[in-house]
Structure 1
Amino acid sequence: MEHLNTSPFNQPFSEYNSDLLKNILSQTENIQTILDGLVGGKTTTEAPAPAKVNSHSTADLAKFAKNLHKSRSRRSKFINKDLLGEPSWDILLDLYSRSETGKHVSITSCCIGAGVPYTTALRWISMLERLNLIERSPDLNDKRRGFVSLTQHGADTMKNALSDMAGLLS
């Protein structure tokens, strides 16, 4: 039972800031709720309406999303990446962080940003599309390529989720 008294890195939990642990637990529960809704076998065609939270500027939230996405990919330097997979969240972070630039995001680029095999990323893109969080559009100049972007519902959902997370850091 000694493992219950230590962190994953064999350091006593007493060395951790209890507020930080509470915040991480809260974020984990929120992510689990989102994932349960995405993959829990629900037949809904749209993700739940986003909860209203503190308002932050869209530019600040896009920067926060970009930094969060970068930090998520850096975790694999320390922890086996097979333990860290959340491709749907990575796709949503990537699309939100790029939404401020006004540039189109190709489906291929989105798949690369998810950090999983191409076919796996395509399945997650399809799931997010069915939930009305993202949408695909054709490239009018190159019929071989398509683009993906957040829907208004997806952008609102991400804005509220990221505002809530940013509030935990304040």
Structure 2
Amino acid sequence: ELNISWNHLRGPGAVAFARGLEANIFLRVLDISYNGFGDPGASAVGEALKTNNVLEELSMSNNRISAVGALSLGLGLRVNQTLRILVMSRNPMRGEGCFGVLKSVQENPTSALELLDFSEIQVDREFDDLASSVKVLLPALHVKTAAHKVKYKKELPSVFTPSLPASVPK
């Protein structure tokens, strides 16, 4: 389990870190939220997800990921078979990015995803229709959006509970 949230990993640093995930054989839970990975970092994480067969829980909230980055990340979700929880809340990907990620999950019948969290991101009717059809293929999958608060059967580990960095006074 590793929490590197609030570390200002951006640009080349975010890409280099994500590339390291490709060879990861131990890390099951990772929180990289509040870093500013952006689209290049999201794309690198997508590449890592294609080969990583260990990671189960990933939080990428507040990382400045647009629809373009979300679509790149989705390429990894098309083949990944181990990720169970993906938290992408509070990214500027809009409904288009959420749709692309969910579409990639739909194209992976062996997906292990149980929770896709797009909290505080508005989606449209087309997304809702896609979510309904994906639910038929992957009945264990719960999709959370700004409009759809779902109760997930497992409490998220403390690593996913956003906390203020040590430098911020309480």
Q: TM-score normalised to the size of structure 2?
A: 0.30
Identify, as 1 or 2, the structure richer in helix. Answer: 1
- Structure showing greater Rg: 1
Q: Which has the higher contact order (CA 8 A, sep 6+)?
A: 1
